[in-house]
Structure 1
């Protein structure tokens, strides 16, 4: 097969085994794979260097091929159909979920002839450790090969006995060929591959049955739920922000970050989405993971970390990989993330709100951890006047971001609520006094008469889409004139073609619109009772996804191009919340699990009485 250029992100599908993940392109190439963990060094990284990054492509020989890709309904199994001048074949790709005692990190690819006669080629070019380790390919028995790197060793077994970098097979209708790649010495046999894929499909469909949502957006809801599940680390319950690193916010730019970690902010917002759609088997372990982070001894002295790896590590030293070109020549490529050293004060609000909601939403057992959570409220009273880096993790000097201040108020409000309702100890007078001071400071320094809206920070008199969340977290009601004006100005000045920028583009090579901000707009509109507009924005946004229903961090308003790390947890959890809110407020479907949410739960709009009935 010839070398080819970078593929658009909407040509990729995500597969995973709840430990690690891979991206498979429409032309049959696994261009990114990190196993046995999401943040493991890559096995294939063609996504970040088209010539040297490494890949495994399984596709018809020749360039005259038309290919289409879809997920088998309500599964994480990809089906790609290749049509050539001589016939057609399909390829099924999946990473097997580690159930029934099966070891994780097993990738299965099954090819089946559909019509005519098609020659397929398997081209294996591994490049371990971000293409810093070129493994040896050694025969393994008479049916496979060993891929031996300096620190990683894999096995590939196949029904065609591939024992080198490439092999070919000709398929006619109903003929199959199977490939299995993994770590375990006792690999599944190629002859069992189709049955394993059938089992995986059945497992995913059974899991989808646990989703407590019905309505016109069911397919989008289930695809987002499956995507969030694919980003979940099964042993710990943690969810990574995205399975990729260094996919650029601006093509050719330097804003390329490693998202293969768990942010507390994302964690809290995803927990609401799990609970609101009835996925308690996923939400509860995730809440347990959050509680473990809060309960660490060092939190009392130094506060929470912004982000963690899936097993709770927090030192993610950032490195630049100069030897990789970067996606579409967008360098540098980074691994690790220096944001781990930032102060992002909004996380205290998200974490304490998460605690207050979860304890009243079926997890009263966690009230025993109150001594750890009250420490967070005490931290806020001491540190709320300090600057921080904000929700957007802007590097450089900190600022007094309005959304951060609002969420610091949320932290104290929820701590006061829990202490009063449950009769728990705490410095309530001090918390209440600090909460009142924070609230007054937002009104005094965070409102801009010039903008007719809340400003980004006390220092910067510009709009910021994160302030759409002010009514959704209970800081002000949605009918407050300032909230209504902020909503209108955000739509007018940050909205473009049904999308929303996080803040005003600064000219030049502008980044894309932030996908999560558009779903925040849906929720803000629904909260304000502007339901027709909310539905329109939501449905237009669903049309912006990739053909497989996946969302990136950003979308270019002009071209619709997907930008940034892909797919993104934050966006898919926001989609779930928006779908639930339209069910609660606009009769568009039902989300019965959300009706058990405590009154005033953040990010959920009030239920119209006729919906509750």
Structure 2
């Protein structure tokens, strides 16, 4: 069990693995096993934080419910089939249960069909007699705004110098406010009898709702119903093929939905910023945005689980924002969830960072980077939509033709690659692969779906790109595809060359790449991204998505036992709620990077599908791979 005492952990921080996540398809909140909400941005995920003790235990602010007596142990679990979280705090006198959720109603399947307010519900139930302590310290604008807290209309209201207003309803017992440095904190202590319940509700920028406890229970039940309706099958009978990994599969589905913006269909990479890839290091990035390159992998994962509308919404969002970018003659690789284009990066020097891992960054300068793989993602997503029976609007077709032409003209240039290096451009092999995918998809769109353009020209350039990759992106010395042309550095993204069909899995170069990845990039069953220096200090952990790529490559090579061993080792490293981070320290098992990470859950879904289909020899994944192989021949 995780230590549930307030401030437990290194330097006052809980391990990243000790958090659960709740949300409302607009934003999320991280809830620790100690009952503290330590991260929440309102009203949307890309907005400044209101609670950020995750990034500064002293200055960030929190919404904590704890026991006054010593907590012996704790546990967390989700209400089955939902993102409604229950935390149990145990003491010698009883147990305190917190049921945390953000209210949802309406149809979660379709975008713009959900009703939600920027509110957090905390239903508290006492088993046995318990003395309870509450700390409420909203710190808007990443803790930069001043805050005063007053009692008004029988409830508590926090007003910031930036104009934000937050109401806290339902608090009872002895209360007091302490103010330091212009920032107020509300405290409360109360005794709860066996079976006694209450609800603490926090609202943003509205008058107090003064809802009843029964109303809170109704909101909880409606929220549970919404999540379960989206899954379509509470019993999970349609997922029995996943075997003992069914619960991991369901949790991954629910994480991806939680990262989805209910208004636009965009799916952000993660709900947090600046959780470090190296404790005490500088590898801290803001992932609260939606990357174009996530589109095809995400759509594949969602569609494989019959969440077809979610896949369509994300792909349509990709095309909407990139088409708008084309009007400005600049297609970005990453956007805000509402299509925001200015993601200027800056650091928050007043926050110490998680376990003193500075700097804390907001914004992401990758939005200004040149990354050639974006052409492949755009055209591949269009191809997926059309194959799924979707209609491509006439206004979008000239844009797709322009993307294909631009890919054909720019493939000889250098870029900063899939891993968004910050030192210098290179001829990254993966980037060239995705240009090849772009041109291959353009040919298919032209021949099969009537896309106007120079199909013969696209096919010719695709052939040239492929031959160039085979000549310059392969190292005879390493007997493996490599990170960049004429380099001797390995990169796990090279596994995508056979997975994307540039060569067959039976090709000696594909098998050599798998062998090199296993021998030189894999540590304790987890795969690191690359072996090359990247211009940043220190190292990083193993990357879960790359680990799942290795699983796919092994499975499609017929090496099923090896694939299962690696899959099970990676999936078993999920936390107590089956949530996955971006990276894991192979030696200690410590979670690293932003959390929970959409890419990791996408990898789990896709790999489990690949394994089961490869195991049964069924059409799905195997036939798709064979199709790629024939097209590349």
Cα 1:565–1:180 change in 2 (3 A) is same
1:200-599 alignment to 2 at 5 Å? Answer: 200-209=223-232, 213-215=239-241, 216=243, 217-296=245-324, 298-299=325-326, 302-366=329-393, 369-504=396-531, 509-587=538-616, 595=620
* Partner residue, 2:181: none
Which moved further from structure 2: 29-38 or 153-162? 153-162
CA distance in 2, matches of 1:598, 1:533: 18
Give the superposition deviation at 1:407: 0.8
Which moved further from structure 2: 597-606 or 241-250? 597-606
Equivalent in 43, 47, 50 of residue 36 of structure 1: 43
Matched, 1:109 2:160: no
* Partner residue, 1:50: 57
Matched, 1:13 2:35: no
Which moved further from structure 2: 148-157 or 457-466? 148-157
Contact 1:359 1:367 in 2 (8 A): no
CA distance in 2, matches of 1:108, 1:54: 17
CA distance in 2, matches of 1:367, 1:475: 31
Paired residue total: 599
Give the superposition deviation at 1:163: 7.4
**Partner secondary structure for residue 364 of structure 1:** coil
- 1:366-404 deviation line (CA, Å, top 9, x unaligned): 576322111111011111011000010010210001011
Contact 1:6 1:50 in 2 (8 A): yes
Matched, 1:125 2:170: no
* Partner residue, 1:160: 172
Give the superposition deviation at 1:310: 0.7
CA distance in 2, matches of 1:529, 1:140: 67
Give the superposition deviation at 1:206: 1.9
**Partner secondary structure for residue 437 of structure 1:** helix
Contact 2:138 2:158 in 1 (8 A): no
Give the superposition deviation at 1:295: 2.0
**Partner secondary structure for residue 179 of structure 1:** strand
Contact 1:473 1:602 in 2 (8 A): no
Contact 2:146 2:161 in 1 (8 A): yes
Which moved further from structure 2: 301-310 or 236-245? 301-310
Cα 1:300–1:128 change in 2 (3 A) is closer
Cα 1:401–1:300 change in 2 (3 A) is farther
- 1:267-308 deviation line (CA, Å, top 9, x unaligned): 221111111111012112112111212322x42774421100
Which moved further from structure 2: 229-238 or 567-576? 567-576
**Partner secondary structure for residue 239 of structure 1:** coil
**Partner secondary structure for residue 214 of structure 1:** helix
* Partner residue, 2:34: 27
CA distance in 2, matches of 1:466, 1:193: 47
Contact 1:303 1:376 in 2 (8 A): no
Equivalent in 183, 193, 203 of residue 172 of structure 1: 193
Contact 2:67 2:132 in 1 (8 A): yes
* Partner residue, 1:611: none
Give the superposition deviation at 1:329: 0.6
**Partner secondary structure for residue 376 of structure 1:** helix
Contact 2:295 2:381 in 1 (8 A): no
CA distance in 2, matches of 1:334, 1:49: 13
Cα 1:302–1:586 change in 2 (3 A) is same
Gaps of at least 5 residues in structure 2 are 108-113, 178-185
Cα 1:124–1:255 change in 2 (3 A) is same
**Partner secondary structure for residue 240 of structure 2:** coil
Which moved further from structure 2: 325-334 or 148-157? 148-157
- 1:471-518 deviation line (CA, Å, top 9, x unaligned): 221211111111011111111111111110011276994310001111
Q: What TM-score do the two structures reach when normalised by structure 1?
A: 0.93
Cα 1:401–1:603 change in 2 (3 A) is farther
**Partner secondary structure for residue 137 of structure 1:** strand
Matched, 1:187 2:209: yes
- 1:432-486 deviation line (CA, Å, top 9, x unaligned): 2221221111111110011110111015311100011112212111111110111
- 1:528-571 deviation line (CA, Å, top 9, x unaligned): 11112112211111111111111111000000000001111111
CA distance in 2, matches of 1:171, 1:19: 33
CA RMSD after TM alignment: 2.4
Contact 1:20 1:35 in 2 (8 A): yes
CA distance in 1, matches of 2:500, 2:314: 21
- 1:160-207 deviation line (CA, Å, top 9, x unaligned): 276750112222222101101112325361412222212212221222
Contact 1:448 1:461 in 2 (8 A): yes
CA distance in 1, matches of 2:625, 2:305: 14
Give the superposition deviation at 1:3: 5.1
Name which structure has the greater RCO, CA cutoff 8 Å, separation 6+: 1
CA distance in 2, matches of 1:140, 1:539: 54
CA distance in 2, matches of 1:544, 1:527: 23
Matched, 1:65 2:72: yes
CA distance in 1, matches of 2:142, 2:304: 38
Gaps of at least 5 residues in structure 1 are 607-613
Q: What TM-score do the two structures reach when normalised by structure 2?
A: 0.90
